[in-house]
Amino acid sequence: MRYSIISYSFRRSFDNGSMDINGYIDFCHENGFTQLDPWMKHLEPGLTDRAWLAAVKAAGDATGLPFGCVAIDGGHIYEPTPGERAKTRAVANAWLDVAEFLGASQVRIDTGGRVDAISDEMLEIIVDGYNDLIPPKGWK
């Protein structure tokens, strides 16, 4: 069994500057966790800076901890219009590329649709959206 703590749990430490992604990796290594589960906000420089992302991957590799689940926010599947869905799909695809680069074994992408109940039409859009992402091109 694998054990982890998502970096989101340390969001206040990231926000106040007392922890960064390297501190998170070190914390997980020092405390016996078996994989890294970063929240996408803590990997944002990696969207545009592959050298930064390569350094993060190298830091994880140096501890022997694999990247497990990257939690992706903002790439949710449901939006009411095709244009809004295209925007969130682009976000999801960008983060899938980051997760693949890190060798992550999983991603978490929410459905979206902040309503009390999901209609049949919404469910169809959600299912089609996930089917479009699974498997994303290049994902192995």
The domain in which residue 84 lies consists of 7-133
Tell whether 73 is covered by a domain.
Answer: yes
Residue 95 confidence (pLDDT) above 80: yes
At 87, which CATH number? Answer: 3.20.20.150
Residue 134 confidence (pLDDT) above 90: no
pLDDT band at residue 138 under the 50/70/90 scheme: low
At residue 39, what are phi and psi to the nearest 5 degrees?
-85, 140
Q: What is the mean pLDDT of the chain?
A: 93
Stretch 87-99: mean pLDDT:
95
Stretch 90-105: mean pLDDT:
96
Tell whether 22 is covered by a domain.
Answer: yes
Tell whether 140 is covered by a domain.
Answer: no
Considering Cα of 54, then 56, then 62, then 63, what sign does the dihedral take? negative
Number of domains in the chain: 1
Sequence-separated (6 or more) residues with CB below 8 Å from residue 70? 37, 38, 39, 40, 43, 95, 98, 99, 102, 104, 106, 107, 108
Ramachandran region, residue 16 (left: φ > 0; alpha: ψ -120 to 50; beta: rest): alpha
The token duo for 85 is: 């869905």
pLDDT band at residue 131 under the 50/70/90 scheme: confident
What is the C-alpha to C-alpha distance for residues 66 and 40, in angstroms, rounded to an integer?
A: 16
